[in-house]
Amino acid sequence: PPPLPTATAVPSPTPGTGTTETLEVRTTETRVGAVTVVDIGLSETSLDAALRKQRSIAEREGHKLVLQTTSSRCRPCQGVAAALSDPKMQTALTGVRLVRVDVRDFNEELTDLGIPHESIPGFFFLGTDMSPRDGIHGGEWDDDVADNIAPVVGPFVRGTYTRRRHPYLAPRGPSPRGTAL
């Protein structure tokens, strides 16, 4: 049988475990090899505004903004993070400003923007209104290693990824931001 897709449903908090988790309050920018990775922090008063700011920076630098939906408790997301330094992923993400948003921290705002976040990790291109125009999730590859992720993410960010396991369906119907076309 074929391997199961690696996208995961959003993890639920584990009640009563007594463990604490360090949450990044500020938005942070780091370099993983040649790729700029931005983690949107809880201190942001508006996800929409934070994404617009990141898009402006990406455009100024001549890069594409790719939004990644993620969660600290998501194993496939951890696999993507671990793979970022691999040369295959570096090539796949050339010219990309990767902006990561934790789905647990920004659940309501992601919903308001119409950004799917039920299956993570997800990767999205955003329109000028910050709504998603195209997207993929971890169900597009098998094990969460660079050899599997890069051949999907690379063509996706170049606009040439056409043979999908899970075709992207843009949100339909009215949204809080107006009528979807």
Domain ranges of the chain: 28-163
For residue 53, which amino acid is it? K
* DSSP-assigned beta bridge partners for residue 101: 69
CB-CB contact of 164 with 151 (8 Å): no
> How far from 4 is each of 7, 30, 47, 156, CA to CA, in Å?
9, 32, 32, 21
Beta carbons within 8 Å of 54's beta carbon, 6+ residues apart: 38, 40, 65, 97, 99
Name the pLDDT band for 180 (thresholds 50, 70, 90).
Answer: very low
Q: Is the pTM of this model over 0.85?
A: no
For β-strands 178-179 and 174-175, DSSP reports them as: antiparallel
Average pLDDT of the residues of the chain = 86
Return d(Cα 124, Cα 131) in angstroms, integer.
9
Fold of the 28-163 domain: Glutaredoxin (3.40.30)
Query: pLDDT (tens digit, 9 = 90+) per residue, 92-137?
Result: 999 999 999 999 999 999 999 999 999 999 999 999 889 999 999 9
